[in-house]
Amino acid sequence: MRGQKELTVTKLNINGKSYELDLPAETPLLWALRDEIGLTGTKFGCGMALCGACTVHVDGQPVRACVTPISAVVNKRVVTIEAIGADKVGKAVQAAWTDLGVPQCGYCQAGQIMSATALLQQKPMPTDADIDSAMAGNICRCGTYGRIRAAIKQAAGEKGAAP
């Protein structure tokens, strides 16, 4: 195989598990997750942090994985859509999404759920303005915004949602 010399091993903590990746340090977390580790729940949409489809949590903060090099998350806790249900807020958000029939094609919804969960973890009872500002980075081309807003409010009202 060509070009293998410049690879270095990067250790990552994803969803509580350790991974060692022999990839260039600048490789975006998104592609490490999807192509190398096989966690495909995190989606590609733009590659420029414009659409939010690739949102993951890094040490509890929502981050766009498509522009985050793996070198930037060494010694940090990365949580993806596959594991956010282990968090009670994440679980409430997922339940509200299903309950209100939020998804249409569903492709952007992993990113939406990760952004919404981060919002509710930080602000258990967000205002409409809080929701707008937290969710403005997540595009849904199917146009499910109204139901996303309603689902965030429903999840906020769930008993389990308060941290």
Chain contacts with other proteins (rule: CB under 8 A): 1-7, 23-24, 27-28, 31-32, 34-36, 38-48, 50-51, 53, 80-82, 85, 94, 97-98, 101-110, 113, 131-133, 135-149
- Residue among 41 and 60 whose Cβ is closer to other proteins: 41
Joined tokens for residue 82: 């596959």
CB 2 to other proteins: min, Å: 6
Return the number of the residue (59 or 132) whose C-beta is nearest other proteins: 132
**Minimum CB distance to other proteins smaller for 61 or for 98:** 98
For residues 154 and 67, what is the distance between their CA atoms, to the nearest angstrom? 31
Q: What distances in angstroms separate CA 16 from CA 2, 53, 84, 86, 101, one per listed residue?
A: 33, 22, 11, 11, 30
Helix (H) or strand (E) holding 9: strand 8-14
* Amino acid identity for residue 77 in this structure: R
CB of 17 to other proteins, least distance (A): 15
